[in-house]
Amino acid sequence: MNILDKIVLDKRKEVDLKKSIIPVSQLEASVLFQRPTVSLANALRNSNSGIISEHKRRSPSKSVINQNNSVADVAVGYEKAGACGMSVLTDGKYFGGSLDDLLLARASVQMPLLRKEFIIDEYQLLEAKAHGADVILLIAAILTRAEIKTLSELAKQLHLDVLLEVHDEEELHKSIMPSLDMLGVNNRNLKTFEVSLDTSKTLSKLIPDDFVKVSESGISSTEAIQELKPYGYKGFLIGENFMKTDNPGLSALQFIKSINQEP
């Protein structure tokens, strides 16, 4: 069993437990449930930098990344830096995140927020909406085509953008459907944890232009972004690169400035 299988197994137990404690009616009664959402896909289409910054305390491959910064400070720093949006890890066991992080980020900024989570159940979309998310992540590696369809169509009903993440050609082919907004290519091989930008380059030709193309993982330099832009990528998800510094917002600001200064 690889790490992804393990995470999904734990996630199913966690979601079942939450469902037994917090009814759907309670999520739908949240003040944020009625909030008009902001489209990350549109923000990326109209941006020069295309940076989606991330709040991440730790990960299975890196253990501790940053336990010191408050999510509110990080969010404000990213927004000031000019990030298009922010990804907030809400998985507790493996990434040290929570839905409270999403709530605190939402209270601090106006920019689009992505709930980064291992989504396997419609209940998690209602949670995302109730805690102020604008975007949800669906991971093709853990979902069937039917599940991707059901979840992405519900997301559209809730006015949430959908970023679907793929790792290879097989996942991409099973996933393409009209209810997605963005297609993210994860450059990290989930079995070996090795990272290669060639994954984004190879798959870019197979992604229809209707979708905003996003490259994820292993992007730590402005050169990497300049390398990927000719392949049609509009979004670049950067997590550890900013979070491993003492001031993620300042790191993002310097990074985005240097992108905008390049010809």
Tokens of 153: 């169509």
What pLDDT sits at residue 84? 98
Please give the full DSSP string across 10-77, using - where no structure is assigned: HHHHHHHHHHHHS-HHHHHTSGGGGSPP--HHHHHHT-SS-EEEEE-SEETTTEES-SSS-HHHHHHH
What pLDDT sits at residue 193? 75
Compute the mean pLDDT over every residue in the chain, rounded to the nearest whole number: 94
**Residues 55-83 as b or e (16 or more Cβ within 10 Å = b):** bbbbbeeeeebbeebebbebbebbbebbb
> How many residues are there in the chain?
263
pLDDT at 57 over 90: no
Choosing from 127, 165, 171, 240, the catalytic residue is: 165
Choosing from 59, 108, 187, 217, the catalytic residue is: 217
pLDDT at 263 over 60: no
Choosing from 39, 87, 186, 187, the catalytic residue is: 186
Choosing from 11, 47, 56, 175, the catalytic residue is: 56
What pLDDT sits at residue 218? 87
- Active site (annotated) includes residue 56: yes
- Active site (annotated) includes residue 116: yes
- Active site (annotated) includes residue 165: yes
What pLDDT sits at residue 1? 74
3-class state of residue 165 by DSSP: strand
Segment of 17-31, 66-80, 185-199, 216-230 carrying the highest mean pLDDT: 17-31
Residue 115 contacts residue 102 (beta carbons within 8 Å): yes
Confidence of residue 173 (pLDDT cuts 50, 70, 90): very high
| Rounded Cα distance, 15 and 10, in Å | 9
- Active site (annotated) includes residue 240: no
Choosing from 108, 216, 234, 251, the catalytic residue is: 216
- Active site (annotated) includes residue 127: no
Find how far residue 34's CA is from the centre of its chain: 22
What pLDDT sits at residue 65? 73
Identify how many contiguous H helices and E strands the chain contains and give both numbers: 12, 10
What pLDDT sits at residue 262? 63
- Look up the pTM and report it: 0.96
Confidence of residue 114 (pLDDT cuts 50, 70, 90): very high
Choosing from 116, 129, 213, 234, the catalytic residue is: 116
Confidence of residue 144 (pLDDT cuts 50, 70, 90): very high
